[in-house]
Amino acid sequence: MLGAGAQTLNLAVGAPVTSLDPHYHALSPNYAVADMLFDSLTAFDARARVQPRLALSWTPVAETVWEFKLRPGVKFHNGNDFTAEDVAFTIARVPTVPNSPSSYGIYTRAIQRVEVVDPLTVRFHTASPYPLLPVDLAQIQMLDSETHANPLTEDFNSGKLAIGTGPFRVLAHRQGERIEYARNDAYFGDKPHWQRVNYRMITNDAARTAALLSGDVDFIDQVPTSDIAKLRSDQRVTLSEADGLRLIFLALDHSRDGSSPFTTDNDGKPLERNPLRDVRVRRALSMAIDRQAITDRVMEGASLPSTQLLPPTAFGALPDRQVGRADADAARRLLAEAGYPQGFRITLHGPNDRYMNDARIIQAIGQMWTRIGVRTAVEGQPWATFVARAGRQELSAMLVGWGTSSGEPTSPLRSLLATFTPPRGWGGSNRGRYSNPAMDAKLDEALRTLDDAKREALLREATTIAMDDVGIIPIHIQKNIWAMRRGLQHEARADELTRAQDIRPAQ
Amino acid sequence: MSVYLLRRLIQAALVMLAMSVIVFIGVYAIGDPVEILISPDADQAERARAIAALGLDKPLWQQYLSFLTNALQGDLGRSFVFNEPALKLIGQRAPATLELAFAAMFLAILVGLPLGLYAGLRPNGAGAKVIMAGSILGFSLPTFWVGLMLIMVFAVQLGWLPSTGRGETVEIMGLRWSFLTLDGLAHMAMPALNLALFKISLVIRLTRSGVRETMLMDFVKFARAKGLSPNRVIGVHVFKNILIPVVTVTGLELGSTIAFSVVTESVFAWPGMGKLIIDSINVLDRPVIVAYLMSIVLMFIIINLVVDLLYSVLDPRVRLESK
């Protein structure tokens, strides 16, 4: 093990890192680690707002051209200079990584051409006006055109090519076990406090908490909700938390007019038409859910009840939208109005190993629906089997989550709610096949609007249309919770990333 | 002997082939790896690209054939998740699992045999009763719970042992081993004990019943009548006879410990093959699952062969047939 001492941080994360290649597998644990080793042109702060990093400023110089000014004097770990050539090189490499199971190319696709103006100025040409470029580029970590001339994912994993401009260097990497880092003393930004960092992966929740309590590690992420109360009362430990960006919601089957596979009448016979296509039924189902009770009882306070896509303070979120109280009587009236005075039967599916307390949430909702006369059977499944069935439209009602890493609503609007249209890349995760032309039109306009204020207004309108139509039923937004030994402080991040540079000794 | 071995080898090859078909179809039937691996932000074009990159756009028989052709050349495919050869990943994790499994087996024999002998020789003594009652606990307590209790007591409350992980390792021939350092041994103590608990009970019970049965046999009476010392009677004649079931079970147990110590490895964050396979199943990393199961089948075939050969050494009545 590394030399112990005040300058060493031992931390344990719950999700395994699969690769040190920053462009191989788009997955947030990988991104967190890449964010310690490399830098992107723009970056998200703890509140998921875009900030300068390797770029100092950016402006659209024409409808389809963005110009980025780069930070001077930045060096890679091996001493090479970071310049505009490296940007062009990186953008070219991203979509070409072999065998990538999930490419970062989705974040560079809008770029048609990279123009190197001078060593510190670079222009991105896009096919059509593209306001999200600064947001997308926050996902792309910059490589060195010399060092990474012939990059193999294996060489990143071994640490040989894991050379960036970031605040830490890799000392050793043991796949699925631990990563050891040393501080990059030449870092251009705020220097991290820790000379050495031991980044361990402990996937078992109970074992991770035990490792903190026994002093094996100083810091853990993904604190299980069942341990929150115990840890809060423990003198040796402090917690940090932030409202997250991961929405837990129900998707409903909009794909059929006729009978939906898991809805029947009270005698178990298939219904003639799909009740979920009726907005009154959807409103009733949403109204029946006591979100505050789920937050208090199931989540132990670790969530924010929500009836929209993002926390109210985020860009493009609806600041005044009320969550409202559950109202079983009003819900029953709505059902009767829709022609189901006696209700109907439905099966609510969900994963049981994916989101915090997922199986318990669907159980709670099943009881709340049954109370308004919609007799609900609940079926939790491992994510691996659940997600395949959900993607084939085999289910009627399902619990899913959505992490909006960009911190603004285009990503959930485009993937979850926009009409399923493969050629334009819309509705990629729209498993219920919800479709609303009015919302599509607003979103389309927003995606072409470079002006931030105008775009935000359009995104709010699109969100309002989809939420009033109950395209999906939001439940809550998860809080991200970390725990550490007393004497440390942590800047909790909305985007769930666990990075050593955010942890310091308490003042 | 050589005919016997040859026949066993042909059998083994057939088993491997049948297994590869079963595993491949089984793995193919569960879920869709792309749905799990891909970023949720990905659109349909990116999905199509990922499906093609992982070779999942081809029909099942084509995927199987190309797997088989590569497998015959020693290449069991590349991990979807790590983009590294599946066999290399398994090989990297093997030492951790092997040392843990052997430590557990060693503990099981070291503790189980003497206790079982004692309980068998004095079946009505108070000591025997305590041992047998204890062995019931060892059987019935779930590994998962015992592991967490061990952590709570020895790591959290008493602070004697590290809670999780592998500790300091020494590199020998490119492989990392923990059992050669003090820190590594400290990390290994709890997971090894946790794994061994069930096996200790098993060995105790097998030994005890073997001893009780054998002590009544004629050859023991003759040996005694001949005037051999009790130590020699028990240590040589009885012992040799009770070893057959113990060796069989130990062999199979060793196999299953190496293959399926998943629970212990997850609880103690022990970076072995069990943890690799469970992580791979969670993300449907098909090449790793298939390669792992194939290597496990091979291992069981080898262990069974070794056990059969050991029989003939231990018991002269057993002859390896070569019709």
Indicate yes or no: CB of B41 within 8 angstroms of CB of A154: no
From the CB of residue B159, how many other CB atoms can be counted at a distance below 10 Å? 13
In the DSSP assignment, the letter for residue A117 is E
Q: Which band of pLDDT confidence, cut at 50, 70 and 90, is reported for residue A33?
A: very high
- Say if CB A442 and CB A458 are below 8 A apart: yes
Q: How far is CA B143 from CA A437, A467, B198, B274, in A?
A: 55, 47, 8, 14
Encode pLDDT of A261-286 as tens digits: 999 999 888 888 999 999 999 999 99
Encode pLDDT of A220-249 as tens digits: 999 999 899 999 999 999 999 999 999 999
Q: Please check whether residue A294 touches B, CB under 8 A.
A: no
Q: Please check whether residue A72 touches B, CB under 8 A.
A: no
Question: How many CB pairs lie under 8 A apart between chains A and B?
Answer: 167
| Closest C-alpha to A91, from A113, A72, A74 | A113
Distance of alpha carbon A490 from alpha carbon A334, whole angstroms: 47
Test mutation, B35, B39, B89, chain A, max A CBs within 10 A: B39
Per-residue pLDDT at B2 exceeds 80: no
How many residues make up chain A in this entry? Answer: 507
Encode pLDDT of B19-58 as tens digits: 889 988 888 877 788 888 888 888 888 888 888 888 888 8
Q: Which band of pLDDT confidence, cut at 50, 70 and 90, is reported for residue B318?
A: low
Question: Tokens 């009362």 sit at which residue?
Answer: A233
pLDDT of res. A169: 95
Distance of alpha carbon B284 from alpha carbon B35, whole angstroms: 10
pLDDT of res. B27: 84
Test mutation, B28, B32, B36, B41, chain A, max A CBs within 10 A: B41
Q: What is the mean pLDDT of chain B?
A: 85
**What proportion of chain A, given as a percentage, has pLDDT over 90?**
81
Per-residue pLDDT at B321 exceeds 70: no
Higher pLDDT, B167 or A64: A64
Encode pLDDT of A134-162 as tens digits: 999 999 999 999 999 888 888 999 889 99
- Say if CB B167 and CB B184 are below 8 A apart: yes
pLDDT of res. A30: 92
Indicate yes or no: CB of A101 within 8 angstroms of CB of B167: no
Write b or e for each residue in A402-422: b if 16 or more Cβ atoms lie within 10 A of its Cβ, otherwise e: bbbbbbbbbbbbbbbbbbbee
- Helix, strand, or coil here: B30? coil
Q: Which band of pLDDT confidence, cut at 50, 70 and 90, is reported for residue A185?
A: very high
Q: In sequence order, which residues have a C-beta less than 8 Å from that of residue A271 and are 6 or more positions away?
A: A259, A260, A263, A264, A265, A344
- Say if CB A168 and CB A158 are below 8 A apart: no
Strand pairing category for A397-403 and A345-351 = parallel
- For residue B117, the distance in angstroms to the closest alpha carbon of chain A comes to 37
Q: Which of B41, B267, B276 sits opposite A415 (nearest CB)?
A: B41
CB-CB neighbors (< 8 A) of B50 in chain A: 100-103
From the CB of residue B54, how many other CB atoms can be counted at a distance below 10 Å? 18
Q: In sequence order, which residues have a C-beta less than 8 Å from that of residue A6 and are 6 or more positions away?
A: A505
Q: Enumerate the β-bridge partners of residue A180.
A: A172, A198
Q: Please check whether residue A101 touches B, CB under 8 A.
A: yes
User: What is this structure's pTM?
Assistant: 0.86
- Say if CB B140 and CB A195 are below 8 A apart: no
pLDDT of res. A2: 42
Encode pLDDT of A359-410 as tens digits: 999 999 999 999 999 999 999 998 888 988 998 899 999 999 999 988 899 9
Q: Which band of pLDDT confidence, cut at 50, 70 and 90, is reported for residue B320?
A: low
Indicate yes or no: CB of A18 within 8 angstroms of CB of B81: yes
Distance of alpha carbon A197 from alpha carbon A165, whole angstroms: 17
Q: Which band of pLDDT confidence, cut at 50, 70 and 90, is reported for residue A5?
A: low
> Average pLDDT of A418-422?
93
Encode pLDDT of A216-227 as tens digits: 999 999 999 989
User: For the purposes of burial, counting CB atoms within 10 Å of the CB of A398, is it exposed (0-12), middle (13-18) or buried (19 or more)?
Assistant: buried
Indicate yes or no: CB of A106 within 8 angstroms of CB of B80: no
CB-CB neighbors (< 8 A) of A157 in chain B: 82, 84
Distance of alpha carbon B257 from alpha carbon B100, whole angstroms: 9
